[in-house]
Amino acid sequence: MKKRGTGIAVAQYPTGLAGGGDVSQAFVKVNPDGTADLFIGSVDVGQGSRTVLGQMAAEELGIPFEKVRVHNQGSDTSPICFGTFASRVTYAAGNAVVEAAREAKSVLFEAAAPALQAKPEDLEVSGGKIFLREDPSRSIGFRDIANMANVFMKKMVMGQGLFARDHSPMDPETGACDPFCTMAWAAQLVEVEVDTDTGEVEVLRMVSAFDAGGAINPTLVEGQIEGGSVMGIGAALMEDLYPLYPAPEGQPTNLNTYVIPTAVDIPAKMESVIVECPSTAGPYGAKGIGEMTANVPAPAIVSAIHDAVGVWVDEIPVTPERLLRALEKVPS
């Protein structure tokens, strides 16, 4: 017999650390041809950080994204980044990139001010032009002033940025502290179909709402949500490192015995909603949601299974064997 159920789970998730350090650095160099080079130490593990950090640099410099080259070839030549962990890269490295781009921009403003008969603080940049804030018709091309500054004015158009949140020690009396840069929230609804004869569970539908703070690249955020959700399905229903726990025997040694989701396991209906509750200290309001996307599905799926068949399975993954054992304990 097949039964359907619906489950909901909510979560909150922090960004970064505050145990001291947790540093990200960035360098921005503007070239005579109006392009820019961004040097970062943050590693892109598939989440799209090179794209997002390049977008931030381009936004601050007022030039197209295509004009920014992102470099992070190795730790010998890259600035410091403490790592791609704690959902911190967009937030921490992003703050460093924005600071570096602003410093480079200030050099260009100093170079452009005499030509525009203005003070550097009265200038803005957008659309590849530097212009007077009160009179945009008075402008000079970004490429033109970049060339003049580098070649004729003997200026090195560079900026450096660093983000390291202040250490937040714990109060020895109360235990109070402020350990996180910012906090994000999430909610997920899951609909499942449970086969009570075989113990198999199929996820039919997932509706996810995740707080990204300010979504720098909504397409990448949506991909992060959906990719994390599928990873969460694996954790909830398939991936079992210790099938005979607490005994260590029986551990899977390859992908024939360690089962992970494939394309056929993706729910037919997936809806991802991006909620923007901007962080007061994040770059353009951004928060980190990377790891949180994989944390919410398991409790939602377990709740949906309970709604379908009336039993709680308190161990994941909810394999057919575990579910059938739980069903056997239900009084007939």
- Closest-CA residue to 145 (of 158, 160, 157): 157
Q: Kindly state whether residue 173 falls inside one of the protein's structural domains.
A: no
Domain check: are 31 and 52 in the same one? yes
Q: Kindly state whether residue 174 falls inside one of the protein's structural domains.
A: no
DSSP track, 225-283: HHHHHHHHHHHHHT--S-TTTTS-TT---STTTS----GGGS-SEEEEEEE----SSSG
Q: Give the separation between CA 232 and CA 4, rounded to whole angstroms.
A: 19
Domain check: are 67 and 199 in the same one? no
Q: Kindly state whether residue 231 falls inside one of the protein's structural domains.
A: yes
Domain check: are 63 and 112 in the same one? yes
Structure confidence by residue, pLDDT tens digits, 178-190: 888 889 999 999 9
Domain check: are 138 and 217 in the same one? no
Domain check: are 221 and 298 in the same one? yes
Which domain-ending residue is among 163, 195, 227?
A: 163
Domain check: are 215 and 119 in the same one? no
- Give the per-residue pLDDT at 244: 87
- Give the per-residue pLDDT at 178: 82
3-state secondary structure of 3: strand
Q: Kindly state whether residue 106 falls inside one of the protein's structural domains.
A: yes
- Residue 70 pairs with which residues in a beta bridge? 38
Q: Give the separation between CA 68 and CA 64, rounded to whole angstroms.
A: 8
291 assigned to active site: yes
pLDDT category at 76 given cuts 50, 70, 90 is: confident
Domain check: are 119 and 92 in the same one? yes
CATH number for position 128: 3.30.365.10
Taking residues 2-9, report their average pLDDT.
98
Q: Is the pLDDT of residue 17 over 80?
A: no
Q: Is the pLDDT of residue 328 over 80?
A: yes
Taking residues 242-247, report their average pLDDT.
87
- Give me the domain span that covers residue 101: 17-163
Domain check: are 145 and 233 in the same one? no
Q: 66, 226, 291, 321: which one is catalytic?
A: 291
Q: Give the separation between CA 100 and CA 102, rounded to whole angstroms.
A: 5
Q: Kindly state whether residue 122 falls inside one of the protein's structural domains.
A: yes
Q: Kindly state whether residue 168 falls inside one of the protein's structural domains.
A: no
Q: Is the pLDDT of residue 18 over 70?
A: no
Say what the pTM is.
0.92
Structure confidence by residue, pLDDT tens digits, 259-309: 999 999 999 999 999 999 999 999 999 999 899 999 999 999 999 999 999
Domain check: are 237 and 110 in the same one? no
Q: What is the CA radius of gyration of the chain?
A: 25
Structure tokens at 5: 């159920």
How many domains does one find in the chain?
A: 2
Domain check: are 250 and 299 in the same one? yes
The share of the chain scoring above pLDDT 70, in percent, equals 98
- Give the per-residue pLDDT at 180: 83
- Spell out the residues 6+ positions from residue 91 whose beta carbon is closer than 8 angstroms to its own: 15, 16, 181, 182, 279, 282, 283, 286, 287, 288
- Give the per-residue pLDDT at 75: 85
Domain check: are 252 and 293 in the same one? yes
Domain check: are 324 and 184 in the same one? yes
Q: Kindly state whether residue 88 falls inside one of the protein's structural domains.
A: yes
Structure tokens at 205: 């539908």
Q: Kindly state whether residue 90 falls inside one of the protein's structural domains.
A: yes
